[in-house]
Structure 1
Amino acid sequence: MPITRAQQSKISQNIYPTYKHHSTPTKARILGACDYLDAKGIKGEKASVFKHFGVSKARGWAILREGQDRRRLGVDTRQEETRGRPPLISPEGLRKMERIIEDCDVEGRSMSWETLAYESGLDVSARTVKRAMGTLDYHKRIACRKGWVNKATAAKRLGPQGHLRIIRKPGERYCVNCIQHTKEPDEQDKKKLHCWAAVGYRFKSSLVFYNIDSNTNGKMTQKAYINQILDPIVKPWIKDQQDFALEEDRDSGHGTGINNIVKQWKKENGLKSYFNCGASPDLAPIENAWAPMKQYVRGFAHWDIETTEQLTQEGWDSVQQQYIDQQVLSMPQRLRDVRDIDGAMTGW
């Protein structure tokens, strides 16, 4: 085959016409084989590697030297990657988040990506955590749910050694820490944390936590409303001659009946109050004020009453007065929206 003009130009420019260029895959194989010899502690065999791949000793050693300093990094080099932006989450941080997930039960695994970053001590966004955990194949999935088992059946299912014997496929769908058991809650688990607050134009009260000893569902009673809210909180406002009217929802604990102790208390203390429209959260600015607080609490892990109470207080403190004023001033527009859509629920 005749030599082309381009090939002739290359030959004329090469001071060593007999030099054979070795391809990148060949160089990579030489580097890999020599790296294996170094890892196994085998000495004096690199010349055999050069001969096997048809490379002279001089060129073989040159390939090894170039392999240590070349710009493009691969699995056959031990240099650290210096190109591009450093990752926001280091491999150590990624392993720390994985350990936190592995140590959590099904309730702990329901934490948000923001919570996982907070618990790991990382100041990164939720999307960054989501992408990083995705590299380990961690994703948000619907938990596997299993029915509640009473104590007698549970005792039968447990062997004499006290361990469950199960058969499962590879993966974590049926892992003990990934199964959501729909059990009957204990009495102490039925009691929840309840709080009360009031907002108005240029007004925001303190957050008041209250307990209902007469029931386990936290429903406000008239006696508790008087003893824990009206007497210690609202009564001082009346004595200070503050000009206000208390808007309340139609909970029975607020005294919606014709004759009750709450209505009598309001009359004796001169409290001006009225009940808002029932089943209408879009017409109650207090509902908008609760939203930032709830969002704040969901951003952190809270497994006990003390932590939940602290986070709730921090969330309430973060609600700005300017935001509350905007919600109060929007009431005329809310009423117009209700009128325009014939009483249907609005987007407020």
Structure 2
Amino acid sequence: MSQSGISYFDTPKKARMKGAANFNNAMGIPYFYNNLFQYYGVSKQRGYEVVPENRGAKPILSSKDLHCVDRFLQDLGWDARVLTWDQLAEELNLNCCGRTLKTHIGSMDYHKCIACCKGWVNGKLATKRKDWCLLMRRVRFSDEVHWSVGPEGKVKIIRKPGERLCADCVQHTLNREDEKKNQRLHSWAAVGYNFKSNLNFHTTKSRNGKMSLEVYRDQILEPIVKPWLERGDNFVLEEDNDSGHGGGDSKGGNIVKTWKKKNKLEHYFNCSGSPDLAPIENCWRPPKQFLQRFPHWDEFETRELAVEGWGTVTQHFINKQVDSMPRRLQDCIDLEGQMTGW
């Protein structure tokens, strides 16, 4: 006995036990490991250290097979990933069912899941989006936003229990024609890395808030953008491809194009149908949510709340959105121009 109380297990005994196991295996003589260990007076744990247990069948897929599966999935990408497990096994001639392949490949952290569903983009627009992403450089993102004065949609009131129609119904005091007009304020702003403009309100005769060339030149470019150029700011102005921004030709000449050329404004138009590639779209959410928290029944209240809500958009938040542009562009390229989750 050793000092630890465990029987001494010498090398000759190991050799005899291993030889007996090898002889029985070679001759096909059935035996139990427990009987072998008991005959030589050793425990199961020590016995299996000398005579490895040969339990179960050999794995159907070898490590070489799994490596081939991994390479196939990496090289073909989407085309391979949409195959079923059975189709994948058949494609690689693995001589196993899909369930077996699923079990083995799961050890490499491959799993099936439902593909993400995002807005579909047609082929022409997808190609345009991808090409545009490759040209992206330094930018100040600009955009217009519209603020509703008063509640949007029909006015709702609290009704008494069991009450449906009453003599003093509010419908007699409401002017539904005014309600349909849904008065709105229109504003413009721009953001960039370590840059945030004020919220600048403008007027327009269009009921939907669409800017004309004259409004954009006289109320935005001249009083707001021109001072940036005069003080030497180094930037490229991003705009949506709206006709009021000089995106199209107009009769009598395009006065916005002429202004940009005269003042040497570097600019580009955002790819159409691509709000996910303009970080300023993310910056409109906080002020709009802020505006919904308070009643705003007239133009002055709405303007004050809009400015206050715009103040809640921090420069840190803006920088974070701008920093995400490389990832947005790469996501768009990787998705072959399809809509991203930004």
**Relative CO higher for 1 or 2, CA cutoff 8 Å, sep ≥ 6?**
2
